[in-house]
């Protein structure tokens, strides 16, 4: 039974009316008005989601490790600044705890929301590019619980993936309920990703830039910048109300470059970070590939990976959990007391542990582990060079900070965003210049291998389905739904039964129809194929089986957006509604093609007349013309004359050399005045009345709703 049926009818009507008014307002609001409201809403949920997940993760970690295993994990300055235990009180329980967390996480994910598997950020990036309205609220809730258990039990994962997916899911929810167009839906999900990550790391500026940079390997989603600024700022304010506003790792260092030779050490960090970043991506997905192709039952894979991680943690405890406390240790001079072999092993052990924890099917982020890996890459360079080379600083913090920026900034293909985030997390901007050297070299290494840690990233906006449509068919933006829509041949009501719908589908020959409520407002759609595949009882009303996610469009929606909706959502047709969500028409791909063809021909005609109008001729082909029934390539036309279009009855098209001319075709030709006079003679059956004055062209209007109605209304046929 649908949840909506449990709500009293008056309340349903009030909700529908409010939703209609808000949808209409968003459709007509200015860019700033719209994103000020949506950005604040997304930011509030992102901040609250970060608070909820942080609390769940802290609770799970405290119970499973401090209470059960008897081991205190270190924490950064922004989270209490605790030091790690000297050893495990009950070490024999560590592999079991990590394995248990992996098992519980897998049971939740694979039974309730399989899309919550993995690190989450990739799923959000994919949604932005392909279907921003597809993120389910259920997946968000499962992601919170599963990630808290996976990381809290000791799995190697970050908390940015879950928080990013929470706010991205809410952006997707807003896009659905307010009928946002595809462009606004993409921006809502993208700004959700950035605001969630910016809030949980205390880095609102870096999070906002990340939303624009992380979508592509070599490009930016510039339209999302202002909405991301708003959402990320609000999310950080909300999160800070509960957890404070200080930098995660405190105000770590005030670094000043005093001589160009100091850049050599940062260049070394960049080269090493590029290689380790490449190893991180290939190692992580290599382990994930091994697990996905193994014969081990899917639900047991995270448990096995967790047990192995627990065994590694007995020797290298730095692989447990988020690892942010160990980054804090590496930023201090106490790093000097840590053995060199351990500092060098930590990046490799962390790569292995992250692949086993998340690549096996567990739930958590990969941003956080990337920070740990980069921090200890910088620490290793400092540890090795400090005793033997002059000019190396006594403080390891600059090396650690630049290592984080270079390692994950390069392999995430978001160097600018990661540089800003790490600078905010460590409370310093003075390292930006030397970091540019390291990040630049690391990025060059990664670009040569064409690697990335986020496999859903596209190369550039040219590869994005949405931007390809806009670039490939720019004239669609000049059309509106009101100009291309057809009158719906069938409209169903929520109170109709499935037997009524089946009978109407059969009599009309249609395979789908919009559904309206008792107050005549659009509420969803019904597909005949889906109906045939359902096992429903006789007398079941349509309200219980209709598709409420079939998104409508407004009368003023542009053709480019309609085409994107048809392709990205795989809808066979789009219901067109007015401001009160009342059905006004239907648009299918054939309607868009027809509208685009007429728009293209009108544009061609305008171009033809931008010069001398005497160089354009439009005249019908007479029955007695010698050109009748001849293909254009063999027609005896004068040299220098170009036939640009042919109007045949209700159809207008651009001819080719194989186009056969028929009587009464209206021909449009370009050429010099004297040659057009000769063409007029060829086209006419009798002597032209005035060969010196070519006939002025008649405007081509879009397809008439009456003249084209029969063809246009085939939009829901199979």
Listed in sequence order, the residues at least 6 apart from 214 whose beta carbon sits closer than 8 Å to its beta carbon are 121, 125, 193, 194, 412, 413, 414, 417, 454, 457
Residue 421 and residue 296 share a domain: yes
Residues in the chain: 718
Verify that 457 and 480 share a domain, yes or no: no
Listed range (100-109, 238-247, 287-296, 671-680) with the worst mean pLDDT: 671-680
Q: Say which residue the tokens 């590496």 belong to.
A: 330
What count of other Cβ atoms lies within 10 Å of the Cβ of residue 18?
A: 10
| CA 182 to chain CA mean position, Å | 10
Residue with tokens 């997304």: 42
Strands across the sheet with 616-620, in order? 616-620, 666-670, 642-648, 651-653
Q: Are residues 148 and 207 in the same domain?
A: yes
425-469 residue pLDDT tens = 998 888 888 899 999 999 999 998 889 999 889 888 877 766 665
Decide if 150 is inside a domain.
yes
In a shared domain, residues 150 and 267: no
Give SS3 for 175.
helix
Is there a single domain that holds both residue 420 and residue 317? yes
Residues 377 and 494 in one domain: no
Tally of domains in the chain: 4
Question: What global pTM score does this model have?
Answer: 0.74
Q: Is residue 10 part of a domain?
A: no
Cβ-contact 644, 670 below 8 angstroms: yes
CB-based contact 160:124 (threshold 8 Å)? no
DSSP, residue by residue, 137-161: HHHHHHHHHHHHHHHHTT---BSHH
Apex CA 124: angle with CA 127 and CA 121, to 5°? 150
Buried b (16+ CB within 10 A) or exposed e, 121-137: bbbbbbbbbbbbbbbee
Contacts of 203 (CB under 8 A, 6+ apart): 197, 248, 420, 421, 422, 424, 425
Instruction: Give, in degrees to the nearest 5, the angle at Cα 412 between 435 and 332.
Output: 45
548 and 582 within one domain: yes
Last-in-domain residue among 211, 243, 275? 243
Distance CA 96, CA 566 (A): 49
Same domain, 395 and 272: yes
Least confident of 6-15, 174-183, 570-579: 6-15
Is residue 333 a part of any domain in this protein? yes
CATH, residue 403: 1.10.3080.10
pLDDT tens-digit map of 217-274? 988 888 899 999 999 999 999 999 998 888 989 887 767 777 788 888 899 999 999 9
If we measure between CA atoms, which residue out of 645, 649, 650 comes closest to residue 670? 645
The model's pLDDT over 655-695, given as tens digits with 9 standing for 90+, comes to 877 888 888 888 888 777 788 888 888 888 644 444 333 33
Residue 278 counted as domain residue = yes
Q: Looking at 462, 492, 512, which one is the last position of a domain? A: 462
End residue of a domain, out of 243, 271, 306: 243
CB 525 within 8 A of CB 546: yes
d(CA 221, CA 223): 6
> What is the span of the domain harbouring residue 308?
260-462
Q: What stretch of H or E contains 605?
A: helix 589-608
Establish if 67 belongs to a structural domain.
Answer: yes
Answer yes or no: do 215 and 74 share one domain: yes
What are the tokens at 645?
A: 């279009």
718 occurs within a structural domain: no
Report the candidate in 397, 409, 395 with the shortest Cα–Cα distance to residue 437.
409
Confidence at residue 65, expressed as pLDDT on a 0 to 100 scale: 86
pLDDT at residue 645, as a whole number: 78
The mean of the pLDDT values for the chain is 83
């Amino acid at each position: 039974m649908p949840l909506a049926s449990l709500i009293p009818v008056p309340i349903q009507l009030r909700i529908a009316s409010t939703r209609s008014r808000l949808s209409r307002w968003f459709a007509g609001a200015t860019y700033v008005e719209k994103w000020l409201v949506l950005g604040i809403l997304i930011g509030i949920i992102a901040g609250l989601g970060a608070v909820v997940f942080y609390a769940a993760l802290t609770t799970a970690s405290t119970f499973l490790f401090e209470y059960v295993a008897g081991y205190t994990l270190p924490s950064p300055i922004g989270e209490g600044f605790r030091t790690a235990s000297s050893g495990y009180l009950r070490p024999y329980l560590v592999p079991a705890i990590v394995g248990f967390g992996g098992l519980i996480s897998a049971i939740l994910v694979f039974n309730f929301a399989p899309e919550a598997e993995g690190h989450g950020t990739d799923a959000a990036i994919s949604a932005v590019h392909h279907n921003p309205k597809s993120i389910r609220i259920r997946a968000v809730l499962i992601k919170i619980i599963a990630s808290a258990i996976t990381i809290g039990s000791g799995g190697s994962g970050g908390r940015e993936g879950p928080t990013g997916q929470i706010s991205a899911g809410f952006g997707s929810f807003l896009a659905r309920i307010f009928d946002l167009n595809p462009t606004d839906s993409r921006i809502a999900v993208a700004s959700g990703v950035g605001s969630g990550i910016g809030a949980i790391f205390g880095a609102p500026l870096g999070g906002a830039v990340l939303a624009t940079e992380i979508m592509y390997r070599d490009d930016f989603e510039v339209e999302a910048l202002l909405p991301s600024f708003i959402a990320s700022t609000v999310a950080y304010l909300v999160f800070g109300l509960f957890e404070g506003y200080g930098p995660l790792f405190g105000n770590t260092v005030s670094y000043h470059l005093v001589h160009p030779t100091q850049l050599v050490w940062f260049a070394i960090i960049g080269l090493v970070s590029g290689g380790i970043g490449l190893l991180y991506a290939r190692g992580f997905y290599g382990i994930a590939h091994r697990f996905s192709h193994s014969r081990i039952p899917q639900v047991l894979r995270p448990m096995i990976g967790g047990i192995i991680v627990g065994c590694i943690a007995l020797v290298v405890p730095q692989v447990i959990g988020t690892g942010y406390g160990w980054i804090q240790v590496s930023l201090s001079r106490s790093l000097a007391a840590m053995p060199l072999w351990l500092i060098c092993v930590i990046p490799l052990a962390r790569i292995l542990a992250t692949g086993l924890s998340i690549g096996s099917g567990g739930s958590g982020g990969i941003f956080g582990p990337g920070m740990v890996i980069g921090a200890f890459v910088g620490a290793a360079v400092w540890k090795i060079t400090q005793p033997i080379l002059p000019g190396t600083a006594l403080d390891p913090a600059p090396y650690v900070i630049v290592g984080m920026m270079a390692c994950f900034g390069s392999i995430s293909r978001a160097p600018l965003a990661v540089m800003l985030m790490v600078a905010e997390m460590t409370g310093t901007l003075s390292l930006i210049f030397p970091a540019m050297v390291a990040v630049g070299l690391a990025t060059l290494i990664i670009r040569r291998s064409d690697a990335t840690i986020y496999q859903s990233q596209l190369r550039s906006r040219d590869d994005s389905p949405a931007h390809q449509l806009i670039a490939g068919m720019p004239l669609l933006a000049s059309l509106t739904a009101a100009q291309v829509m057809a009158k719906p041949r069938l409209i169903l009501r929520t109170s109709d039964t499935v037997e009524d719908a089946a009978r109407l589908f059969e009599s009309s020959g249609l395979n789908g129809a919009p559904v309206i409520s008792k107050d005549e407002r659009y509420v969803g759609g019904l597909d005949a194929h889906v109906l045939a595949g359902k096992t429903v009882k006789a007398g079941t009303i349509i309200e219980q089986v209709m598709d409420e996610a079939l998104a409508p469009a407004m009368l003023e929606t542009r053709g480019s957006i309609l085409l994107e909706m048809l392709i990205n959502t795989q809808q066979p047709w789009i219901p067109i509604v007015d401001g009160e969500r009342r059905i006004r028409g239907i648009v299918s791909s054939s309607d868009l093609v027809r509208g685009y063809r007429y728009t293209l021909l009108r544009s061609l005609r305008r171009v033809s007349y931008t010069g001398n109008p005497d160089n354009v001729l439009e005249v019908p082909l007479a029955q007695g013309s010698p050109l009748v029934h001849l293909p254009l390539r063999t027609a005896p036309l004068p040299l220098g004359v170009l036939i640009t279009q042919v109007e045949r009855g209700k159809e207008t098209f651009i001819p080719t050399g194989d186009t056969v001319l028929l009587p009464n075709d209206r021909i449009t030709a370009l050429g010099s005045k004297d040659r057009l006079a000769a063409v007029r003679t060829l086209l006419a059956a009798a002597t032209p009345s005035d060969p010196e004055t070519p006939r002025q062209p008649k405007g081509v209007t879009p397809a008439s709703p009456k003249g084209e109605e029969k063809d246009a209304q085939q939009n829901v046929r199979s």
